[in-house]
Structure 1
Amino acid sequence: MSRFRSSSAAVVAIVLLVVLIWGVEANPEKNPLRFREDGQFKILQVADMHYSDGLSTPCEDVLPSQLRGCSDLNTTAFVHRMIDTEKPDLIVFTGDNIFGPDATDAAKSMDEAFSPAITSGIPWVAILGNHDQESTLSREGVMKHIVGLKHTMSQFNPPGEIDGFGNYNLEVRGTEGSSLANKSVLNLYFLDSGDYSTVPRVRGYNWIKPSQQVWFQQTSKKLQKAYTSGSAAKKAPAPGLVFFHIPLPEFASFDSSNFTGEKQEPISSSSVNSGFFATMVEAGDVKAVFSGHDHINDFCGELTGIQLCYGGGFGYHAYGKAGWARRARVITASLERMEGVGWGVVKTVKTWKRLDDKKLTVIDDMVLWSKNYGGNRRKKQIHGA
């Protein structure tokens, strides 16, 4: 009996040690995302890391003065800098996390690519791009590996139920102790936009399929019903933010007069318009969409009440533009302060980008959506960190 007790005590000690080292698991059921005590929730978007083999992987499209010693490790350092500076509540990797053709071991490349998020202990998620499966793991295998990593809230949907391997949603609840502490006041949707068309007569990139749109519609309706029921019922749905890799054809709707940021290359969407933009408009809760894929586009533009935003190229082993700094997008939602009640519903959703320069310069600070105005109100700024 004493040996059993000693053995049990040893197991408990080991478990406690593991918890101390790794922190609490990012389980949306046991540890739901929620707004901080200051009424803020911040998301860091990391688009197109294109991580391959670490130190041996050279940088692309940088100035000659930057080329020596530049590798995947510059991408890793940038992720660390962004986490340390912005201290996000959630990190979102929006595809092409690894660059399959140059990655000799997909699992190892992913472990290293996501290591800054893992070591930070901050909840993080990832969706797939068109290059993630081009190494030693299938698309299904890549997503299965991701969901097995520490602190991730990524989810895997088995093949056959919904097209793709990473269609899921996360709820962000109100502040602890508030009347909305048990309601999702901000809804996050993540979709697998696929890689390349499998239809012989259609060339180019894939698109969001009908099964995924049905899943989105059902999920949106369920969340809206839960939000508007009960004593804390609200008339308008909680705002929703959507993340996927390949931009929709509607991203081509803008010119320099109606977007904030830069458009320096054609929109590399699918040639097929599957109607997902219309599906989001009809759902009524989506306020902004965030994509990657086109590395030297970093703009946000509003169409029919929805902001369409690029993350901007992040990774150093990804094509870019020499002299045009790698960048990351930050999205922050702020709750409304209600006198005598505390924090209420989401009041504004804002965004800005940081450049990977000496000061992590902030650019294009703007309001994406406001409860009081319904749409965006631009406020362009450029300033140092």
Structure 2
Amino acid sequence: MAVVTDLTVCIFPPTLPAHGPDPRTWHRIEKELYLHTAPQQRAWLYVALVNEEELAAEDLVVMDIRVGDPPSSGHWESRPGGIWALRNKFSGKIDQAVTEVDVLFGVDAVDPRPQWALMRSSLQLNAQPEVPVARLSVLHGRAKPRPGTQAPLRVGEDGTFKIVQISDTHMVTGVGVCKDAMDAHGKYLPESEADPLTVDFIGRILDAEKPDLVIFTGDQLHHDIPDSQSALFKVVAPIIERSIPFAAVFGNHDSEGTHALSRMAQMSILQNLPFSLCEPGPEHVDGIGNFYLPVLAPAPSKLPLSALYFLDSHGQIPSEIRNPDYDPIKQSQIDWFPDTSQAQRNAREKGDEDSQSHLSLVFLHIPLPEFREGRLSIRNGHRGEPSETPTFNSHFYDALVKEGISALGCGHDHVNDFCALLPQETQQDGDKTPRLGPWLCYGGGSGFGGYGSYGGKRYHRRARVWELDTSTGSLKTWKRVEYAMDRVDEVILVEGGAVVDPFITE
């Protein structure tokens, strides 16, 4: 394992190559400290690393790091940027030594990684006031295994399982700006810091619902932000603080921009966080983040009672037909889905508890073309804007029907929060009786950094809650909305394993 033996900040004119210290020992943290906003200079943090087994007793290693005013005691060494390093001779043990250093940005930055400590004081770089401040985060010793990754998802003893769906948080590097908030009475509020509002809203929902799982349905990040990691950490921190498992799919904005991390890089970050159930998915399937999570019966049973499917809905594409237009779900994803679903079905059939109903849900970011079909019947919630979907229909919806999916949850269109049905016709044995399902549901926008208005009208931020009851084969949903004390638009979607229409009463 590597140990930090020194660190420094190097500043370069933009006309010169950024050649720092000896690359055989010094590692550059690939985050430009001015966030590409300073035309006259560029700055990076360099960390000297030596493998533990190569250290001798007389070698100095970094035991602690401070930023700001000089510490009052100890033999601290000054480094550029207001950094102070405490170095001692190597004792043969690295438990107390610094082993990793990272940079996060913003006064609202957080580091949810176990054992990492984020410096309160920012680096002294003389950046412009509007540039999010750079802050060091430090790891001492060996990182322990991340918590919350061993136990599978399970329904409660009463057969229920609750999911909070959070969509379109649009976090940025720094606090961001909310331009369209309003108070409980609909009065427009002035511009304010966006991301702290989003974090607070998420926390209040989690405390009210205490879910078994949180699902992010895309656009966790705003487009064109300079540091993806800082923004990702902020959005997942409230979930990790409460020890709740979470999963995520990507939206069209998450990896947009010159300096944005790729989907694979973001997935790697998410996978290594506590309580994360995120997966990149099979390499032969288009996109990053095509995976499924089984929800098992109470321990010690291994019987899956529900399956949750996650798909990458890709991003925006050039189009002469519609602007904006989006990539459709790819054929490799459509092929992967029924294969995975049928494997789950086979696993259930081998179980000895088949008296319990099985419910399957699908989550993605961009809605399918069926969300804008004329035959679509909104049964709950509201449409506040036209559905932005791919122009080309690859008919993934047909696979959902064939596999008996109960509901699909998406994001993308912030002020849509409805659940709707598209009647289907069965043609088995000549039967053309219309039947229902699956439900097509929007989550609604949860983030204050993304738009919360359309056509001159503002909307409160919201999130969708799903509750499965595998003992009765039922699925119900409701929303949590700003300022509302109770559940909003609660409705039963499935009863006895079959999709129901709340508008039809006997």
TM over 0.5: yes
- Partner residue of 1:225 out of 322, 325, 346: 346
- Partner residue of 2:244 out of 122, 125, 128: 122
- Partner residue of 1:141 out of 265, 279, 289: 265
Amino acid at match of 2:465: V
Distance 1:232 1:45, change over 3 A: same
- Partner residue of 2:152 out of 9, 32, 37: 32
Q: Percent of counterpart pairs with the same letter?
A: 35
Aligned length: 345
**Alpha-carbon displacement from aligned partner over 1:157-179 (angstroms, at most 9, x marks no partner):** 364x11001000000011235xx
Partner of 1:334: 469
Q: State the structure with more CA Rg.
A: 2
* Offset, 1:378: 2.4
Residue correspondence of structure 1 range 173-184 to structure 2 within 5 A = 173-176=296-299, 181-184=301-304
SS at match of 2:499: coil
Alpha-carbon distance in structure 2 between the residues aligned to 1:148 and 1:200: 40
Normalising by the residue count of structure 2, what TM-score does the alignment of the two structures yield? 0.63
1:347 matches 2:473: yes
Amino acid at match of 2:177: P
1:113 matches 2:235: yes
Partner of 1:208: 329
Distance 1:230 1:72, change over 3 A: closer
* Offset, 1:202: 8.1
Normalising by the residue count of structure 1, what TM-score does the alignment of the two structures yield? 0.82
Q: Is the 8 A contact 2:359 2:470 kept in 1?
A: no
Amino acid at match of 2:277: M
* Offset, 1:65: 4.8
* Offset, 1:368: 1.1
| Greater helix proportion | 1
Partner of 1:3: none
Amino acid at match of 1:95: G
Residue correspondence of structure 1 range 231-242 to structure 2 within 5 A = 231-233=352-354, 238-242=358-362
Partner of 1:339: none
SS at match of 1:114: helix
The ranges of structure 1 where at least 4 consecutive aligned residues each deviate by more than 6 angstroms after the TM superposition are 21-24, 198-203
Alpha-carbon distance in structure 2 between the residues aligned to 1:79 and 1:22: 27
Partner of 1:298: 417
* Offset, 1:23: 9.7
* Offset, 1:152: 0.6
Partner of 1:157: 281
| Greater strand proportion | 2
* Offset, 1:98: 0.6
* Offset, 1:150: 1.8
Distance 1:243 1:96, change over 3 A: same
Alpha-carbon distance in structure 1 between the residues aligned to 2:480 and 2:212: 17
**Alpha-carbon displacement from aligned partner over 1:271-329 (angstroms, at most 9, x marks no partner):** 01001000111122x10000000011100012242000000111101111254210010
Partner of 1:75: 198
Partner of 2:366: 246
Alpha-carbon distance in structure 1 between the residues aligned to 2:217 and 2:209: 18
1:264 matches 2:384: yes
* Offset, 1:255: 7.3
Partner of 2:450: 318
Partner of 2:308: 188
* Offset, 1:360: 3.8
Q: Which runs of 5+ in 2 are unaligned?
A: 1-91, 97-113, 116-142, 425-436
Alpha-carbon distance in structure 2 between the residues aligned to 1:76 and 1:54: 13
What root-mean-square deviation, in Å, do the aligned CA atoms of Structure 1 and Structure 2 show? 2.8
Partner of 1:99: 222
